[in-house]
Amino acid sequence: LSGCFGPGSCWEEMTVGGEGGVQFTLFSSEGAMTARPLVLVIHAFGGSPKKFWYPWLASSLEGHCDVQLLSTRGPPEEVAARVEDLAASAASAAAGAEEAEPRVLFLIGHSVGCQTIIRFLSLPSTTSLLFPSPPSSPRLKLGGCLCVAAWFAIVDPWAAIAPWCTEPIDDAAVRATLGRAGAPLRVLLSDNDRYSPDFAAEGAAWLGGFGSG
């Protein structure tokens, strides 16, 4: 299984290999850049930066880029709070970047974290952050998004996760942001996910909504 975030490489290509031969490759976006890319990882429902494969990923990318394993503050059912956490982290990264050289940003989400990314990309504030009006220059360049175990619907949703299944997403705004940034969205799905077993339907929904591969 392999995937990539972008078509061109202007800094060192990084291949991260996992157990069972799983690997993916990160590329920077076009234009030579010396600033270290930033990877923001948004955890799953009920997760934390110390669980699952997040520490392994951070360790694997060490030396190539800066990785931040985000810890969400609000209750998991508060969709807006989680999206705001990601927006705040992105804004902080932009504030610390050099105006003459935008920093490449990659977003990696797991389960609910995938929806967090999509909802973040739909915000008007995200558009302003990534594509500021002149004379301001962008401080961040969206390099790509990786969504692991992504879903829009689950079997028998419980009360805390139900808002993630029902609150609407502005698909057109997401597509516009990804298209304007030239940033691919890649989705990894399992064929034995007990919460979202219909991986074919989920794949079609993500492909149809955002052109994800």
Phi-psi map region of 83: left, alpha, beta (phi>0 left; psi -120 to 50 alpha): alpha
Beta strand 38-42 with 23-26 is unpaired
Q: What is the DSSP letter of 133?
A: P
How far is 180 from 178, CA to CA, in rounded Å?
Answer: 6
How far is Cα 162 from Cα 192, in angstroms, rounded to an integer?
Answer: 21
DSSP 3-state assignment of 30?
A: coil
Q: Is the peptide bond before 138 cis (omega within 30 degrees of 0)?
A: no
User: Which position has the token pair 């990877």?
Assistant: 39
Query: Quick one: which of 97, 83, 111 has its CA closest to 34?
Result: 97
SS3 call for 187? strand
In 10 A of CB 26, how many CB atoms?
A: 25
Q: Per-residue confidence of the chain (213 residues) as pLDDT tens digits?
A: 333 444 333 333 444 444 444 444 554 444 445 678 999 999 999 888 999 999 999 999 988 899 999 987 667 788 999 999 999 999 999 988 876 788 999 999 999 999 999 999 999 999 999 999 988 889 999 999 999 999 999 999 999 999 999 999 999 999 999 999 999 999 999 999 999 999 999 999 999 989 876
Q: What is the pTM of this model?
A: 0.86
